[in-house]
Copies of this chain bind each other. A is one copy, B any other.
Amino acid sequence: MVVREDGAMSSRVTLSDVASRAGLSVTAASLILNGRAGTGLSEDAHRRVFAAAEELGYRPNLMARGLRTEKSLTIGFVSDRVASTRYAGPMIRGALRAARERDHTMFVTETEGEPAEQDRALEALLDRRVDALVIATVTGHASLPERRPTVPVVLLNGVSPDGDCAAVLPDETDGARQAARHLLDLGHRRVHLLGIPAESDLRARATVQVRRRVESLCSNLQEGGAEVVRVELDSMSWDAESGYEAAGRALAGSAPVNAVVALNDAIAAGAYEAFREARVSIPDDVSIVSFDDDEIVNFLRPGLTTVALPFEEMGRRAVELALSEVEPGEYLEPMRLQVRGSTKRSA
């Protein structure tokens, strides 16, 4: 078929090349290279096969193997905009690490939020016989295709409408508890919540993550005896612009602003700006804690105390669960409070 032994015209070394060089059948070579136990093949045969494989630089053709074994050693990672946003990196990194540790390679696709794109992506992945699927979302709203894939599926940072799918989520309830506890421990008894969605939005549009964050924040602060001042946002988007605006409104309000929980880091960044302009010092005049531990906090002075989203661990977890064909249900990953310079004991 192909001129071998000297590289000339050789396309790629195949198992039968190894076998013939070792003077054995392909079967024997296969058994030995796959370390199959209980096949009484001689020590010598082992040596010869390994030597031949080594010398020839043999590498198995995983498409061929997969065709036979029904295992491709690949996993599919489908995301809405994960590859694009700041949040994305850590999720993908965690997933990649977990996949690599298990000798799997990961396909990454991005659907840009289009459900039709998601269907296409899933088809493409299934056509390539991925062993498992991770469906990630940054918006928090996951959707599954009508016809359920035949391979294990794990949702990453989102829940399925029907909930009959494994879903990896941050433990927002506990994360928010930590934020509340932190301010209470510092002696604060009045807390402005920056970026609370309107009640109607909270019920209708907010993700379950946000809902839990808000609820846990309120209940923990109130139980701790603190007054809670809700400051809603003008726009629905949690960005620096609206954080700036909301903080300004808070300062103009009747209740003095001494402690603030920003619903995410971008809002906090905007609030920093507003406080600076108003000559309100962080943390002397006001303590501020927020959520995410976004990369942008590196640009804030003083350092922002924030509850980190455990995206990397989540990504890793999702792959682990997917490859172990786990049962449906929620898998919560702990959030961790990062204490930095923006919070201080109440005067």
Interface residues of chain A, those whose CB is within 8 Å of chain B, are 12, 59-64, 66-67, 72-74, 77, 83-86, 88-90, 92-93, 96, 100, 103, 105-110, 123-129, 150, 239-240, 266, 269, 273, 295-296, 298-299, 301
Contacts and interface: CB of A to CB of B under 8 A. Distances in A.
A62 B127 contact: yes
Contact of A129 (B63, B108, B109, B123): B63
B109 A124 contact: no
A72 B83 contact: no
Contact of A89 (B66, B85, B105): B85
Contacts of A127: 59-62
Nearest to A104: B124
23 contacts: A12-B150, A59-B123, A61-B67, A63-B63, A63-B66, A63-B129, A73-B128, A74-B107, A83-B83, A83-B92, A83-B93, A84-B89, A86-B89, A93-B110, A96-B110, A105-B107, A106-B107, A106-B108, A106-B109, A108-B108, A240-B299, A269-B299, A299-B299
Contact of A105 (B62, B103, B124, B296): B124
B63 A128 contact: yes
A266 B88 CA distance: 20
A86 B129 contact: no
A89 B88 CA distance: 8
A211 to B, nearest CB: 26
Contacts of A66: 63
B74 A128 contact: yes
A109 to B, nearest CB: 7
Nearest to A272: B299
Nearest to A103: B124
Given A85-B89, A86-B295, A63 B59 contact: no
Nearest to A73: B128
B96 A129 contact: no
A124 B72 CA distance: 12
A290 to B, nearest CB: 14
Contacts of A129: 61-63
B105 A92 contact: no
B90 A84 contact: yes
Which of A60, A72, A110 has its CB near the most chain B CB atoms (within 10 A)?
A110
A61 B250 CA distance: 59
A126 B59 contact: yes
Contacts of A90: 84
**List of 7 A-B pairs having minimum Cβ-Cβ separation, nearest first:** A108-B108, A84-B89, A83-B92, A62-B127, A63-B63, A63-B66, A62-B128
A72 to B, nearest CB: 6
A83 B62 CA distance: 25
A61 B128 CA distance: 7
A267 to B, nearest CB: 11
Contacts of A239: 298
Contacts of A100: 109
Given A12-B150, A67-B64, A127-B62, A107 B110 contact: no
